[in-house]
Chain A
Amino acid sequence: MNFIYDRLLGGKNGMIGIAILAALIFIVLPIGLDLFRLNMVGKYLTYAFAAVSLVLLWGYGGILSLGQGIFFGLGGYSMAMFLKLEASSPENTAIQSTPGIPDFMDWNQLTELPWFWQPFDNFGITLIAVILVPTVFAFIIGYSMFKRRVGGVYFAIITQIIAVILTVLIVGQQGYTGGINGITDLRTLHGWDIRTDSAKYILYFINAILLFAVIFLSRYILTSKFGRLLLAMKDKEDRVRFSGYDVSNFKIFVFVLSAVISSIGGAMFTLQVGFMSPSFVGIVPSIEMVIFAAVGGRMSLIGVVYGTLLVNYGKTVFSETLPEVWLFLMGGLFIAVVMFFPNGLAGLWEKHGNKLTACIKNRQCVIAVKAFIENKRAKKAPATSE
């Protein structure tokens, strides 16, 4: 019991935070929003996976990755390949030169399914691929960089470059990947139509449950000895190394873990949105994910979820109401957050949240407001007398 309370939920404060978030995601939003908006929230929550992964990697590990889109994309593409194969049954694609292969392959004169597409015929293998592909990929990147003690800005730049390379590769190899259009028109999962209303509700809740599972797992890891080592590495890497720990292995582990978490988000994204395209792999989405984490507070697993929701909500609302100037408003929002709340929403809560609760408990706020008003009056008084 104590294990669950302390390690997974994070004590009293953590528990309150999780309870509020859970109430919001599982009860308030599904009841308060219509399906269209809820589906959009579901989409945003898939980005929250990447934001949570950045709490581990960047917030605690101090490793800034500007390439989380890579892994989000790998997961998303794995799922999309499975769904696309199911949507490209010979009956559905009878008008093509080669029925039974995805439509974009046919347009690019491919006549048979490439070998690396074939395993994605199987849902089990696809689910394994969603975990395994980013694991292998992140391990190779992590191993080759952290073993050579590449870190800091250089690591950020290299991850960014890999994101670009992957985008160029996907766009260029359109016969195999769908190119810049991406993999579109996904319909069913084992005959279950993912575009129906009921499917959207079900996917929303699966997504939310997975997100909480990931948050619990992350909290468990961060409250373990490993979590403390991560923090120690962030603050004084050399000391940890001289204490006899192999720093690079820890870094590789946390990088791989964050990659897998992002990948799960990507797979859920494909299921809920119905397609996958290179525009989720490149620099822009990767940096957006960092922004989500920054706005939410990069040290807070709960905060980044709010950050993701807030930024995307702003994006949607601004672009719907003021299509001409919405980008300026978004820019203003980011500048305001960085300038006024450097620790994000979570920092704001930590700074003022306790005061607020104390306030409500002890009626201190009434006294404070009174004092504030009197202060103002006192300041004003001499000015008027002059």
Chain B
Amino acid sequence: MKSRFTLSKLGNVVGLALGLTMAVNMNVSAASVNTTGLAVTDKVVKVGILHSLTGTMAISETGAQEAEKLAIKQINDMGGILGRQIEVIQEDGASDWPTFAEKSRKLLVKDKVAAVFGCWTSASRKAALPVFEKENGLLYYPTFYEGLEQSHNVIYTGQEATQQILAGLDWVAKEKKAKTFYLIGSDYIWPRTTMKIARKHIENVLGGKVVGEDYKPLGNTQFGSTINKIRLKKPDVIYAAVVGGSNVAWFKQLKAAGITSKKQTLLTLSVTEDEVLGIGGENLEGFYSVMKYFQSQDNENNKAFVKAFKEMWGDDSVMGDVTQAAYLGPWLWKAAVEKAGSFDVDKVVKVSETAGIELKQAPEGYVKLHPNHHLWSKTRVAKWNKDGQATVVFESDLIEPNPFPKGYQ
């Protein structure tokens, strides 16, 4: 009885001592790290996660929100940010762009969150963007996208179009001696902009030729006419930016038509490990994806990330490019907040722009924030295997983000 008493007393003393040192170290009151009325107390800081949990985009966005929660959990386990634990308020964008705007407004106006991690499609970002600009919120956006945007209130943790496109095209021209290209994409802003940049690069820089360019509506499942044209034109490379569920039909129909990696080089910009779950590795075998991150990347940080992710979300989970980019969001925010010594959006943004925020231990490797709110990152080309994983065959140098590329518009 007595020994227990002393033990608990000892615990108290240790706790008190810890608390004191904490208090000394973190002697920053909520008022001083938060001058703009955000939801920050002495113990807790609130952030928002805004992805689609329902609707057609849920399958793609689930990985992103899981990665964000993992990062936040890890940060909390390490003691949080400026001594404060992160509390998540999750909202469902429901694959519906106006809902993204409504929920953004709710998170910023009602909940006063210090940062939001969210959005996936360009359409949802475009819908939410005016809200973030009006309410001066801070959004970490994880998806590779078309560029042509640089908002004071957004940090883009995915690649913009030129980062993803140019290195991949250079690689295929050099390695596969490709001269003729067939471009195919889903019909919306990202594939259109991507193909515009790709065409300019193929024609002006690589001296190649675009022999066909096709766009299919989102959700389209009929690729017969495109496949017939491909057969007729016999391009060296099929360059694809088909998104979402359409990919399943696209690759299955290619295979059914006898166009496999044995005879045809195909480079896709929109297939990550997440999509392969639906497409099936056997339908993709030997084709190439161009991304900045693959789950199979062989480095310590990535192994730790994959392990932690599977521990939290189950052994069956896979990590695609966007999942990894989403994982970077909370860490980039933490780095910026700590450097700024404040949660104020303007201060965090200023530090993000000027202080050279970097993550040395990102799963994808070293990344650094550019003053234009995008990340310096490497582009990788990987070849798909039957088991749904890809083998990296090419890795570029760090590429500077350039959301408004001159000569490509």
- Residues of chain A touching chain B, judged by Cβ–Cβ distance below 8 Å, are 36, 39-40, 43, 95, 97, 103-104, 107-109, 168, 171-172, 174, 179-182, 184-187, 195, 273-275, 277, 279-280, 316, 319-320, 323-324, 326-327
B193 close to chain A: CB less than 8 A = yes
Contacting A323 at CB < 8 Å: which of B92, B96, B146? B92
Q: Bound state CA distance, A277 and B99, in angstroms?
A: 12
- Chain A proximity mask over B168-207: 1 for CB below 8 Å, otherwise 0: 0000000000000000000111001100100000000000
Contacting B110 at CB < 8 Å: which of A36, A97, A186, A187? A36
Instruction: Judge whether B127 and A277 touch: CB under 8 Å.
Output: yes
Instruction: Judge whether A195 and B97 touch: CB under 8 Å.
Output: no
Q: Bound state CA distance, A186 and B101, in angstroms?
A: 13
Contacting A181 at CB < 8 Å: which of B126, B187, B409? B126
Contacting A326 at CB < 8 Å: which of B92, B110, B146? B92
Q: Bound state CA distance, A180 and B189, in angstroms?
A: 8
Instruction: Judge whether A172 and B98 touch: CB under 8 Å.
Output: no
Instruction: Judge whether A36 and B189 touch: CB under 8 Å.
Output: no
Contacting B192 at CB < 8 Å: which of A174, A187, A324? A174
Instruction: Judge whether B130 and A275 touch: CB under 8 Å.
Output: yes
Instruction: Judge whether A320 and B218 touch: CB under 8 Å.
Output: no
B27 close to chain A: CB less than 8 A = no
- Complex interface: chain A residues within 8 A of B54 (CB): 326-327
Contacts A107-B193, A174-B189 given: A168-B217 contact, CB under 8 Å?
Answer: yes
Instruction: Judge whether B404 and A104 touch: CB under 8 Å.
Output: no
Instruction: Judge whether B98 and A36 touch: CB under 8 Å.
Output: no
Q: Bound state CA distance, A327 and B96, in angstroms?
A: 13
- Chain A proximity mask over B84-121: 1 for CB below 8 Å, otherwise 0: 00000011101011110110011001100000000000
A374 vs chain B, min Cβ distance (A): 49
Q: Bound state CA distance, A195 and B133, in angstroms?
A: 11
B201 vs chain A, min Cβ distance (A): 16
A128 vs chain B, min Cβ distance (A): 26
Instruction: Judge whether B187 and A277 touch: CB under 8 Å.
Output: no
Instruction: Judge whether B189 and A319 touch: CB under 8 Å.
Output: no
The 6 closest A-B pairs by CB, nearest first: A323-B92, A181-B123, A181-B126, A184-B126, A36-B109, A180-B188
B148 close to chain A: CB less than 8 A = yes
Q: For chain A, what secondary structure do more than half of its interface residues adopt (helix, strand, loop), or is it mixed?
A: helix
Q: Bound state CA distance, A108 and B215, in angstroms?
A: 13
- Complex interface: chain A residues within 8 A of B409 (CB): 97
Contacts A185-B130, A320-B106 given: A179-B217 contact, CB under 8 Å?
Answer: no
Instruction: Judge whether B217 and A195 touch: CB under 8 Å.
Output: no
Contacts A172-B187, A174-B188, A174-B189 given: A180-B130 contact, CB under 8 Å?
Answer: no
Q: Bound state CA distance, A327 and B134, in angstroms?
A: 30
Contacting A275 at CB < 8 Å: which of B53, B101, B189? B101
Instruction: Judge whether B218 and A109 touch: CB under 8 Å.
Output: no
- Complex interface: chain A residues within 8 A of B109 (CB): 36
- Give 27 CB contacts A-B under 8 Å: A97-B409, A103-B148, A107-B148, A107-B193, A174-B187, A174-B192, A180-B123, A180-B189, A181-B122, A181-B123, A181-B189, A182-B127, A184-B126, A184-B127, A187-B130, A273-B101, A274-B130, A277-B98, A277-B123, A277-B127, A280-B98, A319-B91, A319-B92, A319-B99, A320-B106, A324-B53, A327-B54
B129 close to chain A: CB less than 8 A = yes
- Complex interface: chain B residues within 8 A of A179 (CB): 187-189
Number of interface residues of B (CB under 8 A): 35
Instruction: Judge whether A279 and B148 touch: CB under 8 Å.
Output: no
Q: Bound state CA distance, A96 and B91, in angstroms?
A: 34
Instruction: Judge whether A275 and B134 touch: CB under 8 Å.
Output: no
Instruction: Judge whether A323 and B130 touch: CB under 8 Å.
Output: no
A113 vs chain B, min Cβ distance (A): 18
- Complex interface: chain B residues within 8 A of A324 (CB): 53, 92
- Complex interface: chain A residues within 8 A of B94 (CB): 319
Instruction: Judge whether A107 and B53 touch: CB under 8 Å.
Output: no
Q: Could you list 6 further interchain pairs (A-B, Cβ under 8 angstroms) beyond the known A104-B189, A186-B130, A279-B96?
A: A95-B404, A187-B130, A273-B98, A274-B130, A279-B98, A323-B53
Which parts of B132-153 form the interface with A (CB within 8 Å)? 134, 146, 148
- Complex interface: chain A residues within 8 A of B193 (CB): 107
Instruction: Judge whether A275 and B105 touch: CB under 8 Å.
Output: no
Q: Bound state CA distance, A107 and B148, in angstroms?
A: 8
Contacts A181-B122, A181-B189, A184-B126 given: A36-B97 contact, CB under 8 Å?
Answer: no
Q: Bound state CA distance, A95 and B404, in angstroms?
A: 9
- Complex interface: chain A residues within 8 A of B146 (CB): 107
Q: Bound state CA distance, A273 and B104, in angstroms?
A: 13
Contacts A97-B409, A168-B217 given: A36-B91 contact, CB under 8 Å?
Answer: no
- Complex interface: chain B residues within 8 A of A185 (CB): 126, 129-130
A109 vs chain B, min Cβ distance (A): 7
B149 vs chain A, min Cβ distance (A): 9
- Complex interface: chain A residues within 8 A of B98 (CB): 273, 275, 277, 279-280
A92 vs chain B, min Cβ distance (A): 13
Q: Bound state CA distance, A187 and B106, in angstroms?
A: 20
- Complex interface: chain A residues within 8 A of B187 (CB): 171-172, 174, 179
A328 vs chain B, min Cβ distance (A): 10
B64 vs chain A, min Cβ distance (A): 15
Instruction: Judge whether A184 and B129 touch: CB under 8 Å.
Output: yes
- Complex interface: chain B residues within 8 A of A327 (CB): 54
Instruction: Judge whether B106 and A36 touch: CB under 8 Å.
Output: yes
Instruction: Judge whether B91 and A320 touch: CB under 8 Å.
Output: yes
Contacts A180-B218, A319-B94 given: A275-B127 contact, CB under 8 Å?
Answer: yes
For A97, give the chain B residue with the smallest CB separation. Answer: B409
- Complex interface: chain A residues within 8 A of B92 (CB): 319, 323-324, 326
Which parts of B196-236 form the interface with A (CB within 8 Å)? 196, 217-218
- Complex interface: chain B residues within 8 A of A36 (CB): 105-106, 109-110
